Each structure stands twice: as structure tokens, then as C-alpha cells.
Structure 1
Amino acid sequence: MSKLNPPKIRVHLITGFLGTGKTTALRSLMAQKDPAEQWLIVVNEFGEIGIDGAVLGDNGIPVAEISGGCLCCAAGAQMGQTLDTMLRQNRPDRIMIEASGLAHAAGVIDELKAPAFRDRLDIAAVFTVVDPRQFINPEFARNPLYQDQIGVCDVLLASKTDLCSPEELAQFRKRAATLFPPKALIAEVEQAQAQIAWLDTPVVEKPRYRIKALPDNTQGFQSQGYTFPAGQNFDGERLCRFFDELPSLAQGLVRAKGVFQVMDTWVWLNWTDGAWGANQVSWRRDSRFELIAKQFDSDEVYRRLQAALEA
């Protein structure tokens, strides 16, 4: 890579509700860091262990604190200014951002993809630290902020597993396995002790893939998934028309759902029981669509999806 086109800096967001162990997870990663790799750290809160704004522990890693509010809301401009200043003063290989437990994670990702950073930063694996007991609690599941943090991540890190009963862990595993889009990695740890190798978790899907879990697929159903890179916008009207036409494209359709970038926002479309609906979603990695049916032409479905992209 030439000096005119330096490699992008890998950025990892660590998010999660208050008290789940985000700071502990970050410290565990720092303890395993290759001494030859240069890091920067941005924190949006005083963690449960305490951060002094100059260094974290004895590692000598540059740290910046952004106080007050959420990284993507009141502190959004400050985050951009802080990152820009740190990048002028340092040449890191990796940036770690610990967001407040009250941060809207998708908004943080949008800030990192802003034009000022688009050519400098690469959004690598995003982590969300959860307490399995909260994860299986319907009150948490209905919380939009909690949904946002779960939806945006690539790596779902279940902490405090030593405080969970076997039944609670079983419920966590069952629900986590059905998340859409699926997570690149679901890990269970005690006391938020993350493994350094998880930073390099692959986050790029193939353009087409088979759905990994097809429950009770004994009646001749087939499945297919499709992905499109972030940055490719879908046309809202064409996408609606595609979902309206799904029953004629897929014989015996039983499930169809997807997340799509539409006019630079992200929406979740879900077809079930002969009808479909749409909601905003926090996923930012790619647009993707999955369906399960008795019979369909995979190439034709892909052609129709391509046709729904903006010209």
C-alpha cells in the first residue's frame, strides 16, 4: 500500500447495557494486545473500573474520553473532532471505541461512516456485551435501545455466565441462534474475558448463502440468502413491489425477511402468514434477504432483488 493510499484503520465498537462488563472486556483485550500493534481508545463513559483520560492501566495506549450523552447524539460532533485530533497525532493500527450503555449503537456506526472518515476507517467486528439474564427478559427485549445494541453487532458476547442457571443459558442460546441477521460469533464468558482473536472475526458474507438453521426441514423446503454491500441503496417502491410479488416467485413460501439500506436508512422487512411489514433496524453491515419455500428460482429472485436497487 502506497503512502498516498495508506491502509484503513480497523475500528471496533464495544457496546452493551450498563453494567454488562464493557470496560472489563476492553481491558481483557488490551492485556492480550501484540506490543507491536498500535491502538487508540475512545470511551464515552467512566467504566466500572475507571479510566483516567490519558492511559488505561499501564499500557501507555492513548485514550480520549467523551463525556456527556450518547456518542451519536449530544456528543456526536465531539466524537468526530476527538477522532480527527487523535488521528493527526497518532498512526494507529486499531481503534477501540467503548460506547456508553445508553448509546444508540447504529448512530455511532453512522458517525464512523461519515465522509470525513470513510476513506480512513474500516468498521471491523462490532461487539455487544450482554447479560444472558437480561437478554431473555421480555422487558429488555422490547427496549428499543437494547434492540439497537443487539442488532448492530457482529460478535455477541455473553458475560456473567457464572451467575446464570443452566436453564437461563439454554434460553439464551436458543434465542441468540435465531437472531436475524445472524451473528458472526456468539461467545459465552465469565467476567467479560474476551479473546484477542475475536477482533479478527470475519464479517463479510458471501453474495449467496444457505440458511444455516432450517428447523424440521423434512418436507422438501429449500432456502437461500443473498447479501449486498453497504452503500448500495434499494429503491423503496421497487422493494415493496418485490415483497408484494413474493408469493408468485416462491411456491409454498413460508418465510421471507431481510434488512435493506433504503435512502441511507436501514429497514427490516418481514413476510409471514401472507402479509409483510417494515420497521427500522440498527444493522449496518450489509443488506440481506432470506427466504424459505417449497420451490423457487434462485437466479430469478436474485435478478428481482438487483432490479430493486436504485439506478
Structure 2
Amino acid sequence: MPQRIPTNIITGFLGTGKTTTILHLLKNKPENEQWAVLVNEFGEVGIDGAMMTEHGAMIKEIPGGCMCCTAGVPMSVGINALLRTQPDRLIIEPTGLGHPKEVTAKLLSQQFAPYVELKATLALLDPKYLLNEKYTKNQNFNDQLESAQVIVANKVDQASEMELAQLAIWFESFKYTHPLDEHFLQLVTAINGEISADLLDVERASQEISADASEPHHHHHADLDPQFALPPGEKYVRKENKGQGYFSCGWIFGAEYQFNFDQLFSMLSALTAERVKAVINTDQGCYAFNVSNGVVSVNQMSLEGFESRLEVIDSQLMPWQQLEDVLLSLIIE
């Protein structure tokens, strides 16, 4: 390879807007550049990759938990496959429930250091989370923020004055306890993940990384190159996962099936789960659905012949069979 590939980790807890941010960056990247994205999702069904593929990026997905598990094999295979295409930039999106330290350590290892130029790690943060102990006492949440050189306070348009004030207080305290020198830290604000691509070129400050220092976490053997093809004759498949106090359930439906858009939107609006993502073929076209904090966002896509996918994540075990029955009832016969 003629030169090392500029690489960024974009991390952040569930619902902070990582995928939206990466989509914004892909839409605004230089036209003459080819970017690659390695996506890791907690759920067993790949959703993010389908959204990004439409923007011309080369995508590799590692579903079902932390990409660093199984001795880093899934991550190594994914990165190698993307580097062989010689992209102009590589972006890695770890799961919102994952520890970024192992990913950083792998990229700085002798295996990848000759090929990867690791730039700043960006951690997305929803200011609302700073007032909720469910997040502030979560080890993964704190590990993600401590791994970053740039913290992106996203969704500031949805934050109250008190939440924004708490953000400023928190950052002043945080930068003095951060493993990095305070002068290497940046705090930027964003709406809908709209950040400047210049942040990707921020240099990564020197920092000792030990993958062994992370807390124990859920290990799951992910497929090295999952395709999620439905078995012949099967209408749909369901896949479940659990770990780190969270449960997920995902469905893949054959490309020949369409869902009633209005009924699907109503169903997603009524779901109380913490995180819902979907790319669905409907009677009004193919749409990406994103549900966070009770708000449903919808974006039309140009995909054709695509298998519909839906993933639900919550800290409580939900009645998956009941939800499945509802989904099946929304299919237009």
C-alpha cells in the first residue's frame, strides 16, 4: 500500500446518533474519494450497513456484539477486507454498548500500524444522558468518552437550558480527569450529526492503550462475513442477543414482502424500547426508520430488492413473539 489510510473511530452510547453522523459525513465527503466503513452492531441483524451502502461507501458489518471478541478475528478480517480496496479513509463504528479501547489497541498493534494512520476518536454524546445515572454510572458510557479526543454533543436542539448548562459543567470537570492532556480535548456541538469533516483530521494525541484494562464484557462469536440470507422458502427469520444488561431482537423479511407504511409508523411510535432501527420495504417505497427517545425519524431510500430488517434493543426483555405477530399482521398480502 502506498500510504497509511487515515482512520477514525466514531463511538458513542445507544441513541446518540453515530449512524446519522456517519451518513452526514458520507454525503459530504469529497467526490473523488472512496471511503470505507466497518460497522459493529449489538444486535444480530445488520441495519446500519444498509443505510450507508446507499451513499457509495464500502461496508463491512460485524453483528452480534463486540467486534474485538474471539481474539479480534472478526474485526481483523473486516479491516483487512476494507484495506485491500485501498480506501481514502476508513471509519470504524463500534456498537453503542461496546468498549472502544480494544478497537484502538488493535489499530495501534503491529498488525495494522503499518497500514492505518489512526486519527482522532470521536465520541458522540446526548446532553440528556448526563442527568441520568443509568448512563453516567455505565462503564461503557464512560469508557467511550474517555477514549475520545473530540466529544460531539449531538442533538443540542433537543436539549433544555439546564441540560446544556450541565454539559458545560461536566466538560470542565471531565477534561481535568481525562487520561489525555486537557489541551488535546475538544467539545463541539451538533444537530442531526452535522459535523465538519475537518474533525476527522484532528491528530490523535499520544495515549497509552491497554485492551486488558477494560471491564469484562459480553463475548459473542460473530460470523466473519455475515450475509443474513434467508433460508430457501422461509418468509422471515428472527435473531436474538443479550449482554451487558441489554436485550435485542431482530427480524429479516424476504424482499418480496411489503409492509403498510402508516400502520408500521404507528407501531414504531408506540414501542417503548430504548432503541429501534429498521430498513423496510413498504407500500410507499423503501424507508429507513430510526427510533430514539420516543421520536421516530424516517428517511426514504432508493434500495430495490432489499430484505427488510428491523432491530429492537431494550434494557428489559420484551415480548418478542407478540411484537413478531404484530409485524406479520402489517405485511400486505
Contact 1:66/1:75, CA 8 A, preserved across alignment = no
Q: Following the alignment from structure 2 to structure 1, what is the Cα–Cα distance between the partners of residues 131 and 46?
A: 26
Matches within 5 A, 1:90-129: 90-129=85-124
> Which runs of 5 or more residues in structure 2 are unaligned?
216-333
SS at match of 2:112: helix
Q: Which structure is higher in RCO with an 8 Å CA cutoff and minimum separation 6?
A: 2
SS at match of 2:11: strand
1:240 aligned residue: none
Aligned with residue 14 of structure 2, among 15, 18, 34: 18
Contact 2:9/2:122, CA 8 A, preserved across alignment = yes
Matched, 1:149 2:144: yes
1:26 shift after superposition: 0.3
SS at match of 2:7: strand
Matched, 1:59 2:45: no
After superposition, the Cα gap between the structure-2 partners of 1:87 and 1:49, relative to the gap in structure 1 and judged at 3 Å, is closer
SS at match of 1:14: strand
Matched, 1:159 2:163: no
Aligned with residue 34 of structure 1, among 30, 37, 58: 30
2:252 aligned residue: none
- If the length of structure 1 is used for normalisation, what is the TM-score? 0.60
Q: Following the alignment from structure 1 to structure 2, what is the Cα–Cα distance between the partners of residues 56 and 175?
A: 33
1:191 aligned residue: 192
Code of the aligned partner of 2:190: V
Q: Following the alignment from structure 2 to structure 1, what is the Cα–Cα distance between the partners of residues 70 and 130?
A: 27
Moved more, 15-24 or 133-142: 133-142
Deviation track 1:127-178 (CA, whole Å, cap 9, x = no partner) reads: 1111111124344222211110010011101111122111110111111123
1:226 aligned residue: none
Contact 2:49/2:60, CA 8 A, preserved across alignment = no
1:52 shift after superposition: 4.5
1:185 shift after superposition: 1.8
Q: Following the alignment from structure 1 to structure 2, what is the Cα–Cα distance between the partners of residues 184 and 25?
A: 19
Code of the aligned partner of 1:113: L
SS at match of 1:118: coil
RMSD: 2.8
Contact 1:13/1:97, CA 8 A, preserved across alignment = yes
Identity of counterpart residues, as a percentage? 31
Aligned with residue 265 of structure 1, among 194, 210, 219: 210
Q: Following the alignment from structure 2 to structure 1, what is the Cα–Cα distance between the partners of residues 190 and 86?
A: 32
Code of the aligned partner of 2:188: A
Q: How many residues align?
A: 208
| Consecutive aligned runs of 4 or more in structure 1 exceeding 4 Å deviation | 46-49
Q: Following the alignment from structure 1 to structure 2, what is the Cα–Cα distance between the partners of residues 26 and 65?
A: 14
Deviation track 1:1-37 (CA, whole Å, cap 9, x = no partner) reads: xx7xx32111111111111110000001111100122
After superposition, the Cα gap between the structure-2 partners of 1:281 and 1:184, relative to the gap in structure 1 and judged at 3 Å, is farther
SS at match of 2:81: helix
1:196 shift after superposition: 1.3
Contact 1:125/1:200, CA 8 A, preserved across alignment = yes
Matched, 1:77 2:78: no
Deviation track 1:220-274 (CA, whole Å, cap 9, x = no partner) reads: xxxxxxxxx45xxxxxxxxxxxxxxxxxxxxxxxxxxxxxx4xx7389xxxxxxx
Q: Following the alignment from structure 2 to structure 1, what is the Cα–Cα distance between the partners of residues 36 and 71?
A: 18
1:133 aligned residue: 128
SS at match of 1:176: helix
- If the length of structure 2 is used for normalisation, what is the TM-score? 0.57
Moved more, 176-185 or 26-35: 176-185
Q: Following the alignment from structure 2 to structure 1, what is the Cα–Cα distance between the partners of residues 197 and 65?
A: 29
Contact 2:118/2:204, CA 8 A, preserved across alignment = no
Q: Following the alignment from structure 1 to structure 2, what is the Cα–Cα distance between the partners of residues 52 and 26?
A: 11
> Which runs of 5 or more residues in structure 1 are unaligned?
205-228, 231-260, 268-279, 283-311
1:69 shift after superposition: 1.0
Contact 2:125/2:153, CA 8 A, preserved across alignment = yes
Q: Following the alignment from structure 1 to structure 2, what is the Cα–Cα distance between the partners of residues 75 and 129?
A: 27
Contact 2:6/2:116, CA 8 A, preserved across alignment = yes
Q: Following the alignment from structure 1 to structure 2, what is the Cα–Cα distance between the partners of residues 36 and 30?
A: 12
Deviation track 1:72-97 (CA, whole Å, cap 9, x = no partner) reads: 22483111011112222x11121011
